[in-house]
Structure 1
Amino acid sequence: MVDVEFRVVSDRRDGLLLALGQVVIANGFTLLRQRMLNSEEGVVLVMVVRGPAEALLMLEERLGTHHLVQSFEASPYEPAPAAAPTPAPAARNGASTHAPAAAAPSANTAPASYAAPSATATATAAPIDTQRVETLLPQLARNYPNILLQLVALERELPPTQREATLRYIGQRVGAWVYKRDFALGGQLPLADSVRRIALPAMRQLVQAELHEDVLKVRNSPFCHRGETGECCHFLRGMLGGLLEGQHGADGVRVVESQCRNTGAESCRFEFEA
């Protein structure tokens, strides 16, 4: 589950919250809080919602294209930190002045949907500009499948340390959205059939993709030869993972780019491990 804050600008106040609230609920989200105010832009409605991450891209598309919405922004919601405790008064009459032992952290200091990463994970994780990503995703939904030029432009602008993590994350979000939009009504399939019936048709909307036995090959990935070393089709790998997670769960499938044109191969090869 994810908590997201939406900021909507409209020229109409009456019925705005009701109309957009119905969109939120219809997409499986819960409206946690909202506020509405007048500004020079128009009527501004801020909504904090909670729901499944795989449905977020679809919700963003429907809010961003709603006829009452003039402009639309989305960002991860982070509750304000709790106020610091009041310092204890100074000791009197010879009492000990040693500071008390630090209290154990409360179990309620973070949202239920958030698991704090370990120190090692925090130190090694590549940074992602989440604000930029959340702003981009509704645009990708509106333009899909004509999104590769936007993604290549984004890749060029990102610092090298952010490219892989950011593009894989965007790919996973887009893949999960495409799966829910186009394939979610199908039955549960074995991994090989999921690749053939879900991953391959979805990839063919974007690139020239072929399936040879259990290996998916892409001949025209636009992410190759960008000056990086090694495999560089991070968005495609992330999207394949997002497509297949709908059938097999986040831990049920692993996507590996075993060959890449960026390293001299004839085509980019993606292999799947259950």
Structure 2
Amino acid sequence: MIDVEFRVVSERREGLLLALGQVIAANGFTLLRHSALNSDEGTVLKMMARGPVEQLLVLEDALGTHAQVRSFESSRGDDFAHPDPRANLGATPARQAAPALARAPAVAPAVALVDSQRIEILLSQLARGYPNILLQLVALERDLPPTQREPTLRYIGHRVGAWVYKRDFALGGQLPLADSVRRIALPAMRQLLQTDLREGALYVRNSPFCHRNSPGECCHFLRGMLGGLLEGQHGAHVHVVESQCRNTGAETCRFEFLT
């Protein structure tokens, strides 16, 4: 079991505690105490809850993407507390009126499979070292069982992408998908790898995730990160597809974006 404190900012107070309390209970946590006050930010609700650590990532995502939540932070009573989402990937990034479904359905089942504590530690390390993060991710990939590589790397990529979007791009206006790819996804990916944009698709030349002795497309982290970057603009309606990969013999890895 783990104790965790959530800090939520919402535009309205009415029904907020009831709605979020139901989310907390649905994920197996018990609400221990709470406090609410009005501020210049809006209604600030703090909640202390206790529950199973293996369910924490699901709960954080559910609270951070709730329709009534404008900003969200999570800190826990251990050495891996995460009070500041701009400084630490371990906290779910604050969201501006994000849609209720901010995680690709294929990612959700992974949370029950991976080592959640190891992921949280790694996310903290990635935040401190960003954008120099690929060596750590490749090392993690090598350690994972084959059945967990795709869901785990996609989940981490999604968390990183959502964090980068909130840190670097959230203050911009709403964009069409093609402009989001050009003005958000492309510059973010170029911080990590050589990336080009051609006919609406991103081409990555030197993905380190290729040739890992596994069949099919294998750039799961990059696909998850692109999804996290674009969901800040388009919610769960955008889908990222790796339509070609160097792991299958292509010269470059290509990512396409569908709605």
Q: TM-score, normalised by structure 2?
A: 0.63
Provide the C-alpha distance between the structure 2 equivalents of 1:125 and 1:34, rounded to a whole number of angstroms. 19
1:62 equivalent to 2:48? Answer no
Corresponding residue to 2:240 among 255, 260, 273: 255
- 5 Å matches for 1:119-130? 127-130=113-116
Q: Determine if contact 1:61/1:141 at 8 Å carries over to the other structure.
A: no
Structure 1 partner of 2:141: 155
Whether 2:215 is the aligned partner of 1:225: answer no
Q: 1:201 aligns with which of 179, 183, 187?
A: 187
**Cα distance in 2 between the residues matched to 1:159 and 1:173:** 21
Deviation at 1:139, TM superposition (A): 1.1
Q: Does 1:235 align with 2:221?
A: yes
Q: Give the equivalent residue in structure 2 for 1:32.
A: 47
- Listed as ranges, the matches of 1:53-132 within 5 Å are 60=82, 62=84, 127-132=113-118
Secondary structure of 2:82's match? helix
The letter for the 1-side match of 2:47 is L
1:253 Cα shift? 0.1
Q: Which residue of structure 2 lines up, in the alignment, with residue 105 of structure 1?
A: none
Deviation track 1:83-136 (CA, whole Å, cap 9, x = no partner) reads xxxxxxxxxxxxxxxxxxxxxxxxxxxxxx9xxxxxxx97x9982222211221
Going from structure 1 to structure 2, the CA distance change for 1:34 and 1:263 (only over 3 Å counts) comes to closer
What's the C-alpha RMSD, in Å, of the aligned pairs? Answer: 4.0
1:61/1:179 CA distance change after superposition, 3 Å: farther
Residue 272 of structure 1 pairs with residue 257 of structure 2: yes
Give the superposition deviation at 1:148: 0.4
Q: Are 2:231 and 2:238, in contact at CA under 8 Å, matched by a contact in 1? A: yes
Structure 1: distance between partners of 2:111 and 2:48: 31
Q: 2-side partners of 1:29 and 1:163: how far apart?
A: 38
4+ runs deviating over 2 angstroms: 3-6, 28-31, 48-51, 53-66
Partner of 1:169: 155
Q: What is the one-letter code of the residue matched to 2:256?
A: E
Give the count of matched residue pairs: 193
**CA distance in structure 2 between the aligned counterparts of 1:208 and 1:214, rounded to whole angstroms:** 16
| Identical aligned residues as a percent | 67
Structure 2: runs of 5 or more not aligned: 6-40, 51-58, 66-70, 76-80, 92-99, 101-107
If the length of structure 1 is used for normalisation, what is the TM-score? 0.60
Distance 2:44 2:118 in 1: 22
Q: Structure 1: which 5+ runs fail to align?
A: 7-25, 36-47, 67-72, 75-112, 114-120
In the alignment, is the contact (CA less than 8 A) between 1:256 and 1:271 conserved in 2?
yes
Q: Which has the larger radius of gyration?
A: 1
What SS class does the counterpart of residue 171 from structure 2 fall into? coil
Q: Matches of 1:257 and 1:133 in 2, distance apart?
A: 24
